[in-house]
Amino acid sequence: SRPVDGSLPAAGPIIHHPDVKRMLMTMRAYTEGCRALASVAAAAYDAAHHHPDAETRKQNQTFYEFMVPLIKGYSTEMSLEVTSLGVQVHGGMGFIEETGCAQYYRDAKILTIYEGTTAIQANDLVGRKTSRDGGQTAKALAVQVQATEAALTATGTADAVAMAKRLAAARLAFVDVVDFVAGNTKAKPNDVFAGSVPYLMLSGNLMAGWQMARALLVAQEQVAKGVDVAFMQAKITTARFYADHILTKVPGLRDSIVDGAAAVTALPLDAF
């Protein structure tokens, strides 16, 4: 089809359309963010078992345990988003069996179910990973995120400063939700668990975004050294996309969790 900006004299591949690029960038950003989240947690697991210093082992074990429900819950839910977009990019060809996209979409669905459904992972995040220690582990992670924000800002580049802005807004929303969960799990359990899955999605989004921010910092350093510039620039661009298009969802999730429980539980059972 013809590009909307008239950049081609006739019809061309659909990659020229901004919305197709948006879908492909979304798929790329979710994949890279979730992959980075899993990798950093795996490294923490190794350190928790093999580092010579006992305190370092303990810190890494705590970090790893907090990340587990996020990796399982957030990554598998995002696999549905990624494979759905893969079908959408191909249109009707994606829906039928010719491209294979539909098979990936169907297969991804089971990932949110087995080895603990998304709701079970969210229950773990609320109960054992947040309310049990009064949100201390979660807030300690927020401090680490804040340090990354400072490092981003210090570089002064447009991409890093934009990432720092989005990361800060997401972090503050996360801390608000942690306070809500830690402060209300016992007193108002229905209010907290009405937002348990959104809390998992919010946390997974932030933590994956944090890893994308760290990747951005490394990529900028490598570009300055002339190392694999095209690859590193793509990392920077993908991180910026994550910041502007995915991290920006976090404050809205905060509002639905903290303020939205009443509408979840208001209807009588026979209304469903």
Q: Picking from 8-12, 33-37, 165-169, which range would have the lowest pLDDT averaged per residue?
A: 8-12
- The sign of the torsion formed by the CA atoms of 157, 161, 164, 170 equals negative
Residue 74 has what pLDDT? 98
How many other C-beta atoms are found inside a 10 Å radius of the C-beta of residue 243? 26
Interval 92-102 mean pLDDT: 86
How does pLDDT run across 200-242, given as a tens digit for each residue?
A: 999 999 999 999 999 999 999 999 999 999 999 999 999 999 9
Task: Return the percentage of the chain with pLDDT > 90, whole number.
Answer: 90
**Cα(239)–Cα(12) distance, integer angstroms:** 28
**Cα(53)–Cα(51) distance, integer angstroms:** 6
Active site residue 115: yes
pTM of the model: 0.94
pLDDT of 6 strictly over 80: no
Task: Return the percentage of the chain with pLDDT > 70, whole number.
Answer: 100
How many other C-beta atoms are found inside a 10 Å radius of the C-beta of residue 49? 11
Q: Picking from 102-106, 151-155, 166-170, which range would have the lowest pLDDT averaged per residue?
A: 102-106
Residue 4 has what pLDDT? 77
Between the two ends of the chain, the Cα-to-Cα distance in Å is 44
Residue 234 has what pLDDT? 98
pLDDT of 38 strictly over 90: yes
Q: Where are the beta strands (DSSP E) in 115-218?
A: none
Interval 74-82 mean pLDDT: 98
pLDDT of 1 strictly over 90: no
Interval 173-195 mean pLDDT: 97
Q: Mean pLDDT for the chain?
A: 96
Residue 94 has what pLDDT? 85
Residue 214 has what pLDDT? 98
Q: Of 81, 98, 115, 221, which residue is the catalytic one?
A: 115
